[in-house]
Amino acid sequence: MTMTEQPVFNNDSRWPLKLAGFIAIGLGVLALFSPLIAGLVVTLVLGANFLISGILEAFAAFKAERWSGTVGLFLLAIISILAGLIIFAHPLLGLKTLTLFAIIAILIAGIAKLFWAFKVSDGRGFLLLSGALSILVAAMLYTSFPFSAAWALGVLVGVNLIVEGATLLAFVKATE
């Protein structure tokens, strides 16, 4: 017979999770109050990620000896570095591009939910509703593009941070 163990959290191990939850909620609220700035911050963080990873990939490509993937890794490094530099040079263009990718992702998720709604029997109504709402949101964001780029990504990030923070706090509460 196998016994599953419940994780044991004492007060010393709970406070970092509580702190992370409150910080996430606070940042989420800030993002909702200033979605353009939040969207630009996300864009610049992505640009920094491209730039840093590109530099590290280039370094790895130069250090690799007789590896068949060296040329590909070096090309990927150049693309990543260029993407990072372009985002830093034109953060609003980067924000618009990210918003378009978010719209496409929301649309694809909506279509996938509708598809799966016809494949399952339990929860079909919720999947249909969620899929239809996702497609509607994607259409609304797209029809107001590029103006939606000024707020959409920041709002999505803000809502996500608030939900993540609340989830952390609920988890901590459940382990008390």
Chain-centre distance for alpha carbon 78: 24
Q: Does residue 47 sit within a domain? A: yes
Whole-prediction pTM value? 0.72
Domain count, the chain: 1
Query: Is residue 3 domain-resident?
Result: no
The answer to whether residue 2 sits within a structural domain is no
| Interval 129-160: pLDDT, tens | 999 999 999 999 999 998 888 999 899 899 99
Residue 147 in any domain: the answer is yes
Q: Is position 1 within any domain?
A: no
Residue 6 lies in a domain: no
What are the tens digits of pLDDT across the range 9-44? 667 778 888 899 999 999 999 999 999 999 999 999
Q: Which domain holds residue 161?
A: 13-171
> Which pLDDT value is given to residue 4?
63
In a domain, 8, yes or no: no
CA–CA gap between residue 147 and residue 123 (Å, rounded): 35
Q: At what angle do helices 70-89 and 91-117 cross, to 10 degrees?
A: 110
CA distance 70 to 20: 40
Model pLDDT for residues 105-136, shown as the tens digit of each residue: 999 999 999 998 888 777 788 889 999 999 99
Q: Count CB neighbours of 39 within 10 A.
A: 29
Cα–Cα nearest to 50, from 90, 77, 89? 77
In a domain, 5, yes or no: no
